[in-house]
């Protein structure tokens, strides 16, 4: 009697369980996005692309409803996402800030996308530029896909160069050209005994390292290679540039007033400040444009930063999340709207190389500009990314501090780099 009752009980429970799992239902996919631009430029249409994508997605998959929490600022986003993770309520698909990617991957918080990529016949990983794809990899596994990329360009003050009778450099210019021009423009224009016109602003050692195409760390983040010839060359180049100013540190005010010939500038800033209305507000006293960063040789290379998107490793709707992730990062239509409503560019070769994007890009820029899709394609092809590992961010911060000190104090690089390398290696091994 007892046994019969028990068996019936168990059967009912199993049936309920199956029903709960397989019940036809409206499923809700949550996504995590932040307001504003990833690159700290003003952006009024931050949710437009997402909203359009959601609309298209919900039309295609009527059973899925997508929700997001609006109004999270970029500076709060990291904390917000971490808190959600701790509470176990993280969104299924979400944006990943550069500084969070390593930590989240190391914790196993992100879904390893390798198998999804392999299974999906319509998805071709080669469509992405290799370097931006690399920034979403952690120990050779793809954990995130680039949603939006932002290459670094070189701002050129055309008015200043014209005044000094210097031609606008070509896109394949080298570090030597860069140095020569800096040398030429650095001078005292009002004869008060102090230089008041400068070669460049904000060009730091990492820019130089990217130009030299150096990998600072090994693939697993267990060693750093600071004490090598290329790193030394890169840093001594920055030291040379710095020394041109005779110890004076160029400020943003100098730059705004048009006293500086060059400055690294992200594409997002270019996109924001070049067209109306911001062109009236900023850098309005002089003509300017952007070109590629100078290279150590003819193959210019530079840094490209990307806003990544990934899937939570704990999501229960893997396929739906993957489809939505694809819609945001892989869909040509969505990626094209980036040029309309955002300041970054797509990471897809097909989008960058398509014709209708060209018109989108330059529709609101009145003047002639060097920046076109060919240039962007070039930059993206030759971009460099550093390997990602958990201690990357903190290692870079330490290196940054010490190397800036070396540059400012004109330290002997051999010795200082060697001791810094030992220090960093020790930290990485901990």
Partner 1 sequence: MKYSYQQVLSILRHSLSILNFVIILFYSMLILMTTQYIVQIQYAREFLDRITHLPQHPLVTFLGSISLYAVLIFVIYNRNTTKVSYKMNVFYSFLEVLIGFLLIYFLYMSYNGVLFLIFCDSIFNLKQEKYSKGLLGVLIIVYIISSYDVFSIFVPMTNMFEYFQIYGSQVNGVLMIITSCLEMLNIILFIAFMIVYLADEMRQNQYISEELDMVNQVNKELQNYAAITEKIGENKERKRLAREIHDTLGHALTGIAAGVDACIAMIDQNPTATKQQLQVISKVVRQGITDVRNSLNKLRPGALEEHGFKEALERMIAEFSSVSDLTIELDYQLEDIDLEKTDEDIIFRIIQESITNALRHGHATEVKINMHYDKNFLHLKIKDNGIGCDDVHFGFGLTQMKERLAMINGEVHFDGHQGFLTEVTLPRKERDKHD
Least distance from C-beta 102 to partner 1, angstroms? Answer: 10
d(CA 34, CA 45): 12
Binding span for partner 1 by CB under 8 A among 20-28, 47-55, 102-110, 346-354: 102-110
Q: Check residue 104 for interaction with partner 1 (CB under 8 A).
A: yes
Helix-strand-coil split of the chain, %, nearest 5: 50, 15, 35
d(CA 105, CA 311): 11
Pick between residue 42 and residue 108 the one whose CB is nearest to partner 1.
Answer: 108
Pairing of strands 93-96, 27-32: parallel
Tokens 């697993």 correspond to 220
- Please work out the total of residues on this chain that contact partner 1, with binding judged by CB under 8 A: 18
Binding span for partner 1 by CB under 8 A among 45-53, 105-113, 254-262, 319-327: 105-113
Give the C-alpha distances (Å, rounded to integers) separating 341 from 336, 337, 361. 9, 6, 11
Binding track over 43-82 against partner 1, x by CB under 8 A: -----------------------------------xx--x
For residues 289-318, which are near partner 1 according to CB under 8 A? 313-314
d(CA 368, CA 370): 7
Least distance from C-beta 104 to partner 1, angstroms? Answer: 8
Q: Check residue 340 for interaction with partner 1 (CB under 8 A).
A: no
**Choice from 61, 85, 286, 341 touching partner 1 (CB under 8 A):** 85
Least distance from C-beta 109 to partner 1, angstroms? Answer: 5
Nearest to 74 by CA among 40, 120, 48: 40
Listed in sequence order, the residues at least 6 apart from 194 whose beta carbon sits closer than 8 Å to its beta carbon are: 188, 248
Least distance from C-beta 316 to partner 1, angstroms? Answer: 12
Give the C-alpha distances (Å, rounded to integers) separating 367 from 177, 276, 287. 25, 11, 10
Q: Check residue 265 for interaction with partner 1 (CB under 8 A).
A: no
Write out the residues near partner 1 by the rule CB under 8 A.
78-79, 82-83, 85-89, 100, 103-104, 106-109, 313-314
């Amino acid at each position: 009697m007892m046994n019969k009752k028990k068996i019936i009980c168990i059967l009912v429970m199993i049936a309920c369980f199956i029903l709960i799992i397989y019940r036809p239902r409206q499923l809700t996919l949550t996504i995590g996005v932040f307001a504003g631009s990833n690159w700290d430029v003003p952006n009024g249409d931050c949710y437009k692309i997402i909203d359009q994508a959601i609309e298209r997605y919900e039309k295609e998959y009527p059973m899925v409803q997508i929700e997001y929490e609006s109004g999270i600022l970029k500076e709060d986003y990291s904390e917000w996402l971490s808190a959600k993770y701790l509470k176990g309520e993280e969104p299924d698909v979400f944006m990943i800030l550069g500084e969070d990617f390593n930590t989240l991957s190391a914790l196993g918080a992100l879904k390893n996308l390798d198998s999804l990529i392999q299974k999906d016949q319509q998805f071709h990983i080669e469509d992405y530029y290799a370097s931006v794809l690399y920034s979403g990899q952690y120990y050779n596994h793809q954990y995130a896909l680039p949603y939006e990329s932002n290459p670094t360009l070189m701002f050129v003050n055309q008015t200043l160069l014209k005044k000094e009778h210097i031609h606008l450099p070509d896109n394949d210019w080298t570090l030597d050209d860069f140095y020569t021009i800096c040398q030429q423009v650095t001078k005292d224009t009002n004869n008060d005994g102090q230089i008041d016109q400068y070669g460049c602003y904000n060009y730091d050692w990492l820019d130089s390292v990217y130009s030299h195409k150096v990998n600072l760390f090994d693939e697993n983040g267990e060693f750093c290679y600071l004490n090598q010839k290329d790193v030394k060359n890169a840093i001594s180049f920055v030291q040379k540039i710095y020394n041109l100013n005779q110890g004076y540190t160029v400020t943003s005010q100098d730059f705004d007033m048009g006293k500086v010939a060059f400055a690294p500038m992200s594409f997002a800033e270019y996109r924001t400040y070049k067209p109306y209305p911001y062109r009236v507000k900023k850098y309005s006293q002089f003509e300017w444009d952007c070109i590629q960063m100078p290279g150590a040789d003819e193959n210019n290379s530079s840094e490209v930063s990307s806003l990544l998107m990934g899937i939570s490793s704990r999501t229960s709707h893997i396929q739906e999340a993957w489809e939505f992730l694809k819609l945001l990062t892989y869909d040509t239509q969505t990626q094209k709207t980036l040029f309309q409503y955002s300041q970054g560019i797509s990471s897809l070769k097909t989008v960058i190389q398509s014709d209708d994007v060209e018109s989108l890009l330059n529709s609101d820029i009145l003047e002639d500009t060097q920046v076109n899709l060919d240039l962007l394609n070039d930059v993206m092809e030759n971009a460099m990314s550093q390997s990602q590992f958990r201690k990357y961010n903190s290692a870079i911060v330490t290196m940054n501090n010490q190397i800036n000190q070396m540059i400012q104090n004109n330290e002997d690089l051999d010795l200082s780099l060697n001791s810094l390398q030992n220090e960093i290696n020790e930290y990485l091994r901990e």
